[in-house]
Copies of this chain bind each other. A is one copy, B any other.
Amino acid sequence: MKTDSRPIGVFDSGMGGLTAVKELINILPGEDIIYLGDTARVPYGTRSRETILRYAVQDFEFLKRKGVKFIIAACGTASSVMIGEEMFPKEECTGVILPAVEAACKATKNKKIGVIATGASIRSGSYERCISGIMPEAEVYSKACPMFVPLVENGYCGRDCEPAVAIAKEYLEPLRDEGIDTLILGCTHYPLLSGIIGDILGSGVKLISSGAEAGKFAKKLLAEKGLLNGRQSGGSIRLYCTDSPELFCENAERFIELDGILAEKCSLD
């Protein structure tokens, strides 16, 4: 069987992409992973398409220089602008959008799918286009949730956290009223709010984590291409960030257990 011992690269604007890394470690425990969090320029979701694309190219090239075999753009916002851009060849990388959309189309029964993501992701229209490519008859209800990233990053995640619940209701009640049965969490921060989101939407709505789906998608793709390394355990993880490694590790613990893993600082610009 063909194998490939090179690491898998994952990047995100900050820490959120660690939800994809967590899933990768679960399903591919033998693979080496290199993670890049662009913490000096996070968040991407409030920026223009042009700026996000420039940052995504720099993230992508950094990981290529590190010798990775495949790249996961675990940032919903970066993914939304990378689609169809030829500097990101399909054989070399995936974003989170197609994996999340495929999972949502599989999960929905009434074909009413909700999408929540950053302002830039929603503005890009990428989710709608991707869903209508796979399931043209689906009705898509999108909502930008710009306060969710700061809420998560400041620890306002608990199901009894009043400000978070109030803001989440404002965002989600219109989607609930449309009768969606599936919701794509189109930003890798959002799974940390899934308690609150589930309370508002009720148990009848299936939540799709874009980071986790991207991990599963990558596994399938790598297996098909003979690009897995063949090991069943012992994968290593290397973390890079563009701002302080200490700040990174402090905040990263919200997303993943680091067990003493340190981050290294790198420069992209």
Contact = CB atoms under 8 A, between A and B. Distances in A.
Interface residue tally of chain A, by bracket?
Answer: 20 to 34
A47 B150 contact: no
26 contacts: A40-B41, A40-B47, A40-B51, A41-B41, A42-B46, A46-B153, A47-B243, A47-B244, A48-B246, A48-B247, A51-B243, A51-B244, A146-B150, A146-B153, A146-B154, A147-B150, A147-B154, A149-B150, A156-B167, A162-B162, A162-B163, A163-B164, A163-B166, A163-B167, A166-B166, A269-B269
Interface in A104-155: 146-147, 149-151, 153-154
Nearest to A40: B51
A224 interface: no
6 closest A-B pairs (Cβ-Cβ)? A48-B244, A150-B150, A163-B163, A269-B269, A163-B166, A51-B243
A147 to B, nearest CB: 6
A50 interface: yes
Given A150-B147, A166-B162, A243 B48 contact: yes
A187 to B, nearest CB: 14
A129 B135 CA distance: 61
A253 to B, nearest CB: 16
A72 to B, nearest CB: 24
Nearest to A163: B163
Given A50-B244, A166-B166, 6 more contacts: A40-B41, A47-B247, A51-B242, A51-B243, A51-B244, A163-B166
**In the complex, which of the residues A146, A163, A242 has the most CB atoms of chain B within 10 Å of its own CB atom?**
A163
Interface in A37-67: 39-42, 46-48, 50-51
Interface string A154-180: 101000001110110000000000000
Contacts of A51: 40, 242-244
Nearest to A148: B150
Interface string A84-107: 000000000000000000000000
